[in-house]
Amino acid sequence: MTEVPKSEPFNNNYYLRRFNLRTNLDFTVTKTLTVKTDLRANFSEINEPNLPDVMTGGAWPMWRRITSGVLTPWLYPVNNPDGSYGGRIGNYSLNPKGILEYAGYSREFNNDFNINITGNQKLGFITNGLEISGAYSFAQNTGFTRSLTRPRFPTYIYNEDGSYTPVFSDLTRLAQLTRSAGITRPVRRTNKQLQLSYNRTFASLHNVSANVVGMEVITRTINGTSGQPNRTEVYKGINGQFIYTYDNKYIVGYTASYSGTDKFKSAQKFGYFPAYSAGWILSEEGFFKDHVKFINLFKIRGSYGTTAPIILRQPITCMWIAIQDQPVPIYLVKCPVV
């Protein structure tokens, strides 16, 4: 952007300033216990010029003003012979150079902080393939805005006789800048998970995989000085999964979730969502390997499950749980039940 000289000490140039801090620490506490921590902080500042307008319907984006014909070079001069800003009476855009000199700026500050702690303990002393893991995360997003703005400024029409006509008859001197500030998005979110997993193969043919996961997600919106009460949303759930694979060819699975949210009344907060699946990996069959050598993996799979779709005035986030590291992935959608 071309620097426009200003008679007032404010900076309305476009800029983004961002500072990032991130650290990852992995600890091997014992041969069977590992702990990981992930800390991330982000601080940003975004500055941009205030772009007001007096057109019907409010201020348009600058590109729309140019392409729609309300801001074209032949409508009025940038500066009149006496140095004042040119303008035109009617539904036309404000002088763009005058906007950069007089209209002020808008500035947004955002601070994001996240910490994740996970741990995994192998329980081989009980039975091979058994382990327990936990995770805790905390995220805080805060932000605020600050602006120093002016909605319009004096512009004039230069007449043929050398006289000047003000575009705004009620505005003959520059008004004072208006200062404003506000909080944008103070949100705190905690997520706690505990998982018990089991994965083991017997006689090189039978693979059994199972896990149980409990979770709780709490989101708090701090409204600060808005005058509205703070809002807390809680999501809780227990998810279970069992998969049996025979000879790496035939798979059956069962997944279930009992979960809910405090968005609904007590009798309807929680729901049970089962899902069933089966799969057949044809590419592991001898007849397939012998006759279709150009395909490495070919499988047929099917699944059936229940969910709880819902329509609210505010959107509800549905969680997709993907069972990873399996020949036939299973996906379960969990939505709060009405």
- Of the pLDDT bands very low, low, confident and very high (cuts 50, 70, 90), residue 316 is very low
- Of the pLDDT bands very low, low, confident and very high (cuts 50, 70, 90), residue 327 is very low
Tell me, what's the pLDDT at 148? Answer: 93
E-assigned strands of the chain?
Answer: 15-28, 33-49, 104-122, 130-149, 156-158, 164-166, 178-183, 187-202, 206-221, 231-246, 250-261, 270-281, 299-305, 319-323, 330-334
Q: Is the pLDDT score of 336 beyond 90? A: no
Tell me, what's the pLDDT at 99? Answer: 87
Tell me, what's the pLDDT at 137? Answer: 95
Q: Once rounded to an integer, what is the mean pLDDT over residues 17-32?
A: 94
Q: What CA–CA distance (Å, rounded) separates 156 from 159?
A: 9
pLDDT digits (tens, 9 = 90+) for 137-171: 999 998 889 999 998 889 999 998 889 999 888 88
Q: What CA–CA distance (Å, rounded) separates 335 from 308?
A: 5
Higher pLDDT, 5 or 268: 268
Phi/psi for 106 (5° steps) reads -130, 135
Q: Once rounded to an integer, what is the mean pLDDT over residues 269-291?
A: 89
Token digits of residue 261 = 């949210």
Tell me, what's the pLDDT at 328? Answer: 42
Mean pLDDT of the chain: 83
* Helical H segments across the chain, by residue range: 62-67, 96-102, 286-291
Comparing CA positions, the residue from 245, 205, 256 lying closest to residue 326 is: 245
pLDDT digits (tens, 9 = 90+) for 35-88: 999 999 999 999 999 988 776 666 667 777 777 766 777 888 889 999 898 988
Tell me, what's the pLDDT at 333? Answer: 44
Q: For residues 210 and 242, is the Cβ–Cβ distance under 8 A?
A: yes
Q: Once rounded to an integer, what is the mean pLDDT over residues 107-114?
A: 93
Tell me, what's the pLDDT at 72? Answer: 76
Token digits of residue 227 = 């005058």
- Of the pLDDT bands very low, low, confident and very high (cuts 50, 70, 90), residue 247 is very high
Tell me, what's the pLDDT at 136? Answer: 95
Phi/psi for 287 (5° steps) reads -65, -30
- Of the pLDDT bands very low, low, confident and very high (cuts 50, 70, 90), residue 334 is very low
Q: Once rounded to an integer, what is the mean pLDDT over residues 234-257?
A: 92
- Of the pLDDT bands very low, low, confident and very high (cuts 50, 70, 90), residue 2 is very low
Tell me, what's the pLDDT at 265? Answer: 72
Tell me, what's the pLDDT at 337? Answer: 41
